Chain A
Amino acid sequence: MVNKSPKRKKIGALSIKNVTKIYDPSGVNVKAVDDCSMEIAGGEVCMIVGPSGCGKTTLLNAIAGFHSITEGSIHLDGELLCGPTKPKAEQSAERMVVFQHGALFPWKTLQENVAYGPTVQRVLSKNEAMDKAGQMLAEAGLGQFVKKYPGEVSSGMARRAEIVRALINNPKVLLLDEPYRAMDALTKQIMHESLLETYDRTGVTIFFITHDLEEAIFLGDKVHVVTTRPCQLKKTVEVKIPRPRSYATQSSEGFRKLLEEVNDAVHEEAVKAFQAGEREMA
């Protein structure tokens, strides 16, 4: 919440109002998101926490423009992304997604991957894009690996490169869908530090889906706990731990308290989700 200039704060404000999404393949009528509202200020790190399969990704897909919404509206900086007149947002480089399983193109080197956006948008020539990509990868500590293919680097490095690939497009919002899910605790720590460092540098708005409560509190300005399907906002927890944060804060009293608070809210939903799952199986 500190160390941010007011200029940064203005860009990338997301306003999600009464969004409902009903999947209706062959009349099954699954309500994934139900009347969900959320305000995310520009330059905020917003963490979404909720049980598996609750519709968090559906929300992210709606913001990114991968899926339509059934009701409600989403605005970015006051501009309509999707709403009653326009059920599906357009895909755009102002909202970049970092995917759950990683989506670096395996047939391009890290540098070519990062240079892809500016090249296809024709804002930079191929050479300029490659130069800038190399520079940005170096800033992210991947300078030695620019010529490597994604299959040649560790998952942590690939994920960092993917975030660089998103950032080169100067997005207003970074949408992350459990990007560190399958990583071990140590790699995760490094990922967190690197993301926080990136955030402090760019001040980009971050919409981050996770299951990991400690991760949510450590990274976030706000933690939005959502209910089990259909997804609704259950509780918002403000994290008033000053930035820059370090791992020492995780053992502080304040951190533990917040963790407890979030945990209570999530646990209730997790139990509901589990019971619902049992009912479905029965």
Chain B
Amino acid sequence: MSAVGNFLKNTTTRRGVGAIVCFVIIWHIGAMIDDWTGVDVLGIGLVPPPGDVFAAFLGVIPKVGYWMSWVSSFSRVLAGFLVAMIIGIPFGLLLAVNRYFRGVFFPPFEILRPIPPLAWVPASLIFWPTNEMSIAFVTFLGAFFTIVINVLGGARSIDISYLRAAQSMGASQMDLFWKIVLPGTLPSIFTGAAVGMGITWEVVLAAEMISGGGTQGGGGLGFFIWNSYMGGSLEQIVVGMISIGIAGYICSSTIRKIGYFFMPWRRLF
């Protein structure tokens, strides 16, 4: 009990928990309003009440298939996201610091960037030999453009005084890059990562629904929702949605933690 007490001592935590509790209460009222009054308000009476969803949640927790969905969605997200980071960060930095590189690569980049990742799904299903690779590719695209544009913007907006000061103090081009441009861009890198991660989840889910996910358990959370829809289980649809919410929260808070570690000077805010 004292652990819960300590947990609730923090004002921010208390507000967060309070907000979630209020949300669940409103959800419950909304779902039950049809039963209570006999008036069907815009069809929201069809929404399963939180209790039923919770029961469905307890129902899927022991099932291996449900956890396999987590694993496959997560690994797709991570794979696409990490590749996007590994290619996107150096690519964005190069665009920022090298005029010739920018001249050559920025125009095609800008033409490809507005194409929504989902528009790539049909082409990549045809192009890549397996479903899995097409999903990974589309996921990668979702994060890649966001990361690059953030890194580029961040690196280009570094205060010129920092560069001048460093150069006056005798910094070489290498010093400038590693000690000024890179740390100066870190905040934008993490912003790009956080936004890119969000997009990655969107894309993975949609791609899983479209592609049908593939074989047993490998469908991912997107397929889990789709399957529940096909099976007519409203509760399980909501369970899938909440799972994605939790998964996204885990990812974004992990990115925040890593950012906190790499940018000690930002801890003051």
**Chain A contact residues, CB within 8 Å of chain B:** 64-66, 91-93, 95-97, 99, 101-103, 105-108, 116-117, 120-121, 149-152, 165, 169
A152 pairs with B164, CB closer than 8 A:
no
B170 pairs with A151, CB closer than 8 A:
no
A99's partner among B165, B169, B183 (CB-CB below 8 A) is B165
A103 pairs with B183, CB closer than 8 A:
no
A105 pairs with B183, CB closer than 8 A:
yes
Q: Tell me, yes or no, whether B128 is within 8 Å of chain A by CB.
A: no
Task: State in angstroms the CA–CA spacing of A92 and B269 once bound together.
Answer: 35
A117 pairs with B170, CB closer than 8 A:
yes
B166's partner among A95, A116, A150 (CB-CB below 8 A) is A116
Which 8 residue pairs are nearest across A and B when measured between Cβ atoms?
A103-B161, A117-B169, A107-B183, A121-B170, A149-B265, A103-B165, A99-B161, A120-B171
B183 pairs with A97, CB closer than 8 A:
no
A106's partner among B166, B169, B179, B265 (CB-CB below 8 A) is B265
When distances are taken between beta carbons in the complex, the residues of chain B under 8 Å from A96 are 168-169
B265 pairs with A120, CB closer than 8 A:
no
Task: State in angstroms the CA–CA spacing of A105 and B183 once bound together.
Answer: 9
Report if A152-B268 is in contact (Cβ < 8 Å); known contacts: A103-B159, A103-B162: yes
A121's partner among B169, B180, B263, B265 (CB-CB below 8 A) is B169
When distances are taken between beta carbons in the complex, the residues of chain A under 8 Å from B264 are 149
Q: Which of B168, B175, B183 has the most CB of A within 10 A?
A: B168
A93 pairs with B184, CB closer than 8 A:
no
- Additional pairs, 14, CB under 8 Å, beyond known A103-B161, A105-B183: A64-B168, A92-B168, A93-B169, A93-B170, A99-B161, A99-B164, A99-B165, A103-B159, A105-B162, A106-B265, A107-B263, A117-B169, A120-B169, A120-B175
Task: State in angstroms the CA–CA spacing of A69 and B115 once bound together.
Answer: 46
When distances are taken between beta carbons in the complex, the residues of chain B under 8 Å from A151 are 265, 268-269
